[in-house]
Homo-oligomer: A and B are copies of this chain.
Amino acid sequence: MIPDELTKGQFDTVYNVLSLAIAAQLFTAIFLLAAQPRVLQRYRQALVISAIVCGIAAYHYFRIFDSFKKAFVSDAPGGESVYKQAIGESFNEGYRYVDWLLTVPLLLMELVVVLALARKLQASLLWRLIPASALMIALGYPGEISGDTTTRLIWGTLSTIPFLYILYVLFVELTRSLDRQSPTVRMTVSRMRILLFASWGVYPISYLLPVIGGDGPVAWVSKQGAYSVADILAKCLYGLLIYRIARLKSFSDEKSFAKDEGKEDLVEAKP
């Protein structure tokens, strides 16, 4: 639940961490768009999708930031006192779900698209990962907006089913199709799966926080911080790892491109 009061330190911490998320996501989006010529044509679509994901996330953080700034007010000069909930303004946590509903399926798409798998395999992975991820977010929402513990647990459990299915597809099925990738690409994909798993793990923990009794301003401020850091890792760092895979594959596909980019030492033989 949203706390009635925040100290100035708590207010400033949430404020700065939300602004950090905006800056990181907006400028990762710009970087990925500007860096397109740094990979071969065939990998640019994956970069554009990554940039769009970061852009969508930045948009939602602008909204969350504004919503937060209006939802808590101080009545002292220089804001040197407690911040109370403003009259007629509420902090809208729903923006996060809207964001995830759009970005989480796209994050899985990025990963599949950049690997340039065979057409049938790619279609089969996407047709399972994208609906499953949209379902995972949609099923979590009714629990998130409910104050009732039982409701929270029921929807949370339902949402876990597609989550486990996604993990199965990523860790079992995708692994089988990695045999045609170079060692460094395989290693980067492994790291990205762990990054997804670790950063997505923050969401169920934050979700369960009110259930296990973690309430009050400190828990709430920590939750905002954890969400923001998880979003920065799952969108920006993830997008930069997509860029790395696209670079490595470009160099291995065309040695002359690697030479023009001054990266002949990054050319790897495919197995």
- Are A44 and B48 neighbours in the complex by a CB distance under 8 Å? no
In chain A, residues 60-82, which have Cβ atoms closer than 8 Å to a Cβ of chain B?
60, 63, 71, 73-80
Is there a chain B Cβ closer than 8 Å to A173's Cβ?
no
Contact string against B for A residues 1-21, beta-carbon threshold 8 Å, 1 for contact and 0 otherwise: 010100011001001100110
- Are A76 and B87 neighbours in the complex by a CB distance under 8 Å? yes
Query: Complex: how many Å from CA A246 to CA B259?
Result: 16
Instruction: Give the residues in chain B near A218, CB-CB below 8 Å.
Output: none
Please give the number of chain A residues whose Cβ is less than 8 angstroms from any Cβ of chain B in the complex: 71
In chain A, residues 145-176, which have Cβ atoms closer than 8 Å to a Cβ of chain B?
145
In chain A, residues 36-78, which have Cβ atoms closer than 8 Å to a Cβ of chain B?
37-38, 40-45, 48-49, 51-52, 55-56, 59-60, 63, 71, 73-78
Is there a chain B Cβ closer than 8 Å to A116's Cβ?
yes
- Are A266 and B119 neighbours in the complex by a CB distance under 8 Å? yes
Query: Complex: how many Å from CA A59 to CA B25?
Result: 12
Query: Complex: how many Å from CA A227 to CA B239?
Result: 32
**Known contacts A77-B87, A79-B88, A85-B78; A44 and B52 CB within 8 A of each other:** no
